[in-house]
Every structure is written in C-alpha cells, then in structure tokens.
Amino acid sequence: MEKNKAGWMTLFEPFPFFEVYRNYLQIDIAAENDDDLRKWKGWVESRIRQLALKIEGDTKSMLQCHPHPGEFSDKSRPFHYCYFMGLQRKAGTNAQEGEQFDMRLTMEEFKRSVLMYISWSPGMWIHVCHVRRKNIPPFVFPGGIRPPQLTKVARETLSTAKTKHGGKWQQPLKVYKRRGRDASKA
C-alpha cells in the first residue's frame, strides 16, 4: 500500500472476477425444495476446492483454477445456485498454438463424487461445464446487466497485476479504457 501510494480504500475495491479470465467453469446445482437445496449447497460447496485441486493436478499445474468466493442465484430458476471458477494457464508456461486441456474426465469424476452424498435425494442435480467470458450468464452481474468489456490491454494489466503479487489481487494504478467509454480508477 505504501509503495504504490494508494489509499486504504483501494484495498476494498471489488476484484473484477468476470473480466480477468477468458475461461470459466460453471457449476450449477438445483434441488426440489429449500431444505434439500440448503443441504445440497453445503455439500457441493465443501467439495469445490477439491475440484480446483484436481484440475490443477490433472493438468500438471499448467492450468490454474480460481474459485469465485460466492454463489449466484438465477431468480427465474427456483432452488438453483451457480458457482464459477476462473481458469488460466500458469504464468511463465509456454502455450502451444491451440493447445487445450480436456477436463471432461475430471469434471465427471467430480460429479460422481458429489453425487455420493449420503443424504442425496431425487431432484438434487449438478451440472459442470466450461464457459467463455462472453457467455457468462447475465444474472451474475449487478442488475443483470453485463458491463462493457475491457480492452485486451486493460485485461492483461489486471491479470499481470494479480500474477506479480503472488496471485493476490492488488489494484494497479492505471486508467482502464472500456470499449466505448472511459472507466478510470486511481
């Protein structure tokens, strides 16, 4: 804080999770009623960290998985929650042109382990899929409105700032240009 001469309020600025990563895992869960959803939600949340570790292990730590700390609820779908994990290649690894990671087996193993819940009941459901930034559902954004996308340079600056500080978010003191308008933060 002192080196960058930033104020303490900078520390409390929200991390732009849905602007930093290009790829995400979306984990949807649902149940038949509130009581089942409460139990199911607790069980799934207790297993999400295991999925992140499994993905990193299965890709030999070439792919990093960063869970969003909260859940999202689509008001049009009762008894439903959604979780997200940001995916990015480990800094300093050379990505071959078009190289992709096949995480289907890892996601299926995760779903199987979650479905072994001792209190599982019919109607408890889970779906895990890859989603690109442009396909993030609007209900995750404040007011259900997707903000204008940052330019490539601004996204790289955000990502670099996170990487340079050991994976911990620190707000860089730069002006970010959003497509179509200026969004300066200092």
Please write down the HEC assignment for all residues of 46-102. Answer: HHHHHHHHHHHHHCCCCEEEEECCCCECCCCCCCEEEEEEEEEECCCCCCCCCCCCC
How does pLDDT run across 5-57, given as a tens digit for each residue?
677 777 788 888 998 999 999 999 999 999 999 999 999 999 999 999 999 99
What is the pLDDT at residue 60?
87
Mean pLDDT score of the chain: 81
What is the pLDDT at residue 3?
66
pLDDT at residue 79 is higher than 90: yes
Domain 17-145 fold is Alpha-Beta Plaits (3.30.70)
Domain boundaries, the chain: 1-15+150-186, 17-145
